[in-house]
Amino acid sequence: MTRLSVNVNKIAVLRNSRGGREPDVLRAATVCLDAGAHGITVHPRPDARHIRADDVYALARLTSARGVELNIEGNPFAPPRDGYPGLLALCEQTRPAQVTLVPDGDAQLTSDHGFDFAREQAALVPLVARFHALGCRVSLFADAGADIGAARASGAERIELYTGPWAEAFDAGRPASALPAFVETAGCARAAGLGVNAGHDLSQANLAAFLDAVGRIDEVSIGHALISEALYDGLETTVRRYRAIVDRD
């Protein structure tokens, strides 16, 4: 069964635009869980453009009380700064069930690539071990076509397939062009004993075709499209629709 983790970054974007408390990240996360989301994802960034450390602490309390997964994403190499304690410290303080390591820099508008595992394996091995010591499952952000052997050697339990190229190909009306690399990489990962997550720009339009083609995906984390769709249809209805998609096989 594919599990749905709702990324609530975009709720914080809207809240931060006025500096007040609304929309309330915790309330939105609660609505998502009540509607059937299996977990909550956040990707706090060092510039605190959306999710802040305090949000992570509050969401950790919520998810722990509800017995559901909190997935914290971030660049483990980004140094702490004012208002951002760093990914390792955040995980030490909140003990999320899963941490997703993403190799992106502050200047990026959003995540747009996975790790070069062969190059970064030596740096990842001790880091993965430190997250394990905190009790976190570790997932590594990976491009379709990534070196799965090197990813496996880092000690992580899962990869998260970066699905931006899938969404782009789907929008451009040539979905079949993107699929073979995802199918191949997911297959190699599963054969190597890794779990496979997927995320970035997944939407109600493109999710079912992706899951149908790529096979067993342990978890999808979805934020931008889901929150956008919720503006039209409501958060509860939208989460229920995603659940219907991930539940249908």
Ligand X SMILES: CC(=O)[C@@H](O)[C@H](O)COP(=O)(O)O
Ligand Y SMILES: NCC(=O)COP(=O)(O)O
Please identify which of the residues 38, 160, 200, 229 carries the catalytic annotation.
Answer: 200
The stretches of the chain forming alpha helices (DSSP H) are 9-16, 25-34, 53-66, 87-94, 117-133, 148-153, 164-171, 175-191, 207-214, 224-233, 235-247
Q: Report the sign of the C-alpha dihedral through residues 10, 11, 14, 19, in that order.
A: negative
73 is catalytic: yes
Binding site for ligand Y (CB under 6 A): 7, 41, 43, 73, 160, 199-202, 221-225
Binding site for ligand X (CB under 6 A): 7, 9, 43, 45, 73, 102, 110-111, 141, 199-200, 223
Q: How far is the CB of 201 from ligand Y (least distance, A)?
A: 5
**Between 96 and 223, CB nearer to ligand Y:** 223
Q: Write phi, then psi, for 25 (nearest 5 degrees).
A: -65, -40
Half-sphere exposure of 193 toward its Cβ, with a 13 Å CA cutoff?
8
Supply 41's token pair.
């994802």
User: Which does residue 206 touch among ligand Y, ligand X, none (CB within 5 to 8 A, set by kind)?
Assistant: none
Supply 77's token pair.
């190499």
User: Which does residue 222 touch among ligand Y, ligand X, none (CB within 5 to 8 A, set by kind)?
Assistant: ligand Y
**Between 35 and 198, CB nearer to ligand X:** 198
CA distances from 23 to 15, 74, 139, 223 (A): 5, 23, 29, 15
Query: Is-contact 14 235, C-beta < 8 A?
Result: no
236 is catalytic: no
**Between 67 and 88, CB nearer to ligand X:** 88
**Between 122 and 169, CB nearer to ligand Y:** 169
Q: How far is the CB of 101 from ligand Y (least distance, A)?
A: 11
Known binding-site residues for 3-amino-2-oxopropyl phosphate equal 7, 18, 201, 223-224
Active site members: 43, 73, 200
